[in-house]
Chains A and B, each alone.
Chain A
Amino acid sequence: AQRVTQPEKLLSVFKGAPVELKCNYSYSGSPELFWYVQYSRQRLQLLLRHISRESIKGFTADLNKGETSFHLKKPFAQEEDSAMYYCALSYDTGNQFYFGTGTSLTVIP
Chain B
Amino acid sequence: GAGVSQTPSNKVTEKGKYVELRCDPISGHTALYWYRQSLGQGPEFLIYFQGTGAADDSGLPNDRFFAVRPEGSVSTLKIQRTERGDSAVYLCASSWDSYNEQFFGPGTRLTVL
Contacts and interface: CB of A to CB of B under 8 A. Distances in A.
Contacts of B104: 43-45
B3 A98 contact: no
B8 interface: no
A95 B48 contact: yes
B98 A101 contact: no
B48 A96 contact: yes
Interface in A93-109: 93-102
B55 interface: yes
| Most chain A CB within a 10 A radius of its CB, from B55, B91, B98 | B98
Interface stretch (B16-24, B38-46, B66-74, B78-86): B38-46
Interface residues of B, number: 27
B45 A98 contact: yes
Interface residues of A, number: 21
B51 interface: no
A46 interface: yes
Given A94-B98, A95-B48, A96-B48, 13 more contacts: A43-B3, A43-B106, A86-B43, A88-B42, A93-B98, A94-B97, A95-B55, A97-B33, A97-B43, A98-B45, A99-B35, A101-B41, A102-B41
20 contacts: A43-B104, A43-B105, A44-B93, A45-B104, A88-B42, A94-B31, A94-B98, A95-B48, A95-B55, A96-B45, A96-B48, A96-B56, A96-B58, A97-B35, A97-B43, A97-B102, A99-B44, A101-B40, A101-B42, A102-B42
